[in-house]
Structure 1
Amino acid sequence: MKAMIAAVLLSLSASMSYASEANIEGVWRTVDDKTGYALAHISIEKQANDTYIGTIIEQFPFPGQPLILLCQKCPKPYTDQPIKNLQVFKGLINDVKQPDNYKHGKIIDPLTGKIYGMKAKLSSNGKKLRIRGYIGTSVIGRSQTWLRKE
């Protein structure tokens, strides 16, 4: 009987730690999918309406290039806004059928000013977030893997 209780408690403990890892809230390091360079740190927060937003809290220049400070090519209301503290994505919701998946977001590329549809998938250990920006359907787009900042 004690062994059964211990097994149940261990199982509950494991599922509770997975649930905390499965949370996308926190700070993530974005990595360019083409160059492998770190681009920024993004803070992801859950809103009162159960959607997630991502805000650039720190940005890094490409080696040998100056840091771009303003979202010059961005549409209104982002036009000429500082990239630091820019809300880079919004509207992302958790897929209740697949808890590690998120969907229906909108993400802006501050370097090009383009806005894309967005979905994301959290790795099983909670340390990687695969972001997909797309036009229309997720087949037409590109992905980045963001790394949880520890």
Structure 2
Amino acid sequence: MTVRRTVKHMWVSATIAGALLVGATAALADTSGTPVGVWQTIDDRTHEPTALVQIVQNGDGTLSGKIVSGLAGNNSPERRCTECTDERKDQKIEGMTIVKEMKRDNDEWDGGKILDPLNGKEYSCKMHLEAGGQKLVVRGYIGISLLGRSQIWTRHNDVTGASARN
């Protein structure tokens, strides 16, 4: 193989690698404008991480989210929603859908429900992104949004998916 041919192969390889890197970066950037991804939830009272929630877009365009991993000591994989009153009664919390039917409304998502699996109560929910898509403000409320509380979830950037078990 000649030097010219070797240089040409190196240039082609570098060009392909660059294109792949640009494509991967664009794919990651696309998720920053939407809640789709894995989020670390934070306990309101202790400010400690509690779980990882994976939010996905459904075929109808709505978003839903399920707990893919518990992080706190009291969130063992075997813990169940004993306080739930719907079809989730006594189901394992890990793997449970806790966010459903969120619809996009300009820069926020609204119209859905969120379940607190520790007390079994379901609330109306709205959410919006902050900090360039790295923080998700999730508000659960009863009736009107003023009667509720917000949590700030942080985007979990483990691109290998090792901690987001399906």
TM-score interval w.r.t. the shorter chain? Answer: 0.7 to 0.9
Q: Do 1:40 and 1:56's aligned partners in 2 also have CA atoms closer than 8 Å? A: yes
Identity of aligned residues (%): 35
SS in 2 for 1:21: helix
Q: Which has the higher helix share?
A: 2
Paired residues in the alignment total: 130
Deviation of 1:61 (Å): 2.5
**Which contiguous aligned blocks of 4+ residues in structure 1 show a shift greater than 6 angstroms?**
none
Aligned to 1:77: 87
Q: TM-score, normalised on structure 2? A: 0.73
Provide the C-alpha distance between the structure 1 equivalents of 2:144 and 2:85, rounded to a whole number of angstroms.
22
Structure 1 unaligned blocks of 5 or more: 1-15
Quickly say closer, same or farther: Cα 1:19–1:66, change in 2 above 3 A: closer
Tell me the alpha carbon deviations over residues 37-96 of structure 1, each in whole angstroms, 9 at most, x when there is no partner.
11100000000111000010001225xx5747000001120100000000011000111x
* Residues 1:119 and 2:126 aligned together: yes
Structure 2 residues without counterparts, runs of 5 or longer: 1-26, 158-166
Please tell me whether the aligned partners of residues 138 and 153 of structure 2 are also in contact (alpha carbons under 8 angstroms): yes
Corresponding residue of 1:54: 65
Q: Which amino acid aligns with 2:71?
A: F
On the 8 A contact 1:106/1:115 being kept in 2, the answer is: yes
The root-mean-square deviation of aligned C-alpha atoms, in Å, is 1.9
Higher strand share: 1
Q: Structure 2 CA distance, aligned partners of 1:51 and 1:87?
A: 13
Separation (CA, whole Å) in 2 of partners of 1:122 and 1:84:
24
Cα distance in structure 2, aligned partners of 1:128 and 1:28: 9
CA 1:20 to 1:84, structure 2 compared with 1: closer, same or farther past 3 Å? closer
Match of 2:51 among 30, 33, 40: 40
Indicate how the Cα distance of structure 1 residues 92 and 41 shifts in structure 2: closer, same or farther if over 3 A, else same.
same
Please say which structure displays the higher CA radius of gyration: 2
TM-score by length of 1: 0.80
Q: Is the alpha carbon distance of 1:137 and 1:53 closer, same or farther for their aligned partners in structure 2, counting shifts above 3 Å? A: same
Question: What CA distance in whole angstroms lies between the structure 1 residues aligned with 2:131 and 2:154?
Answer: 13
Distance 1:48 1:32, change over 3 A: same
d(CA) in 2 for partners of 1:19 and 1:59?
27
Q: Is the 8 A contact 1:22 1:124 kept in 2?
A: no
Residue 136 of structure 2 corresponds to residue 129 of structure 1: yes
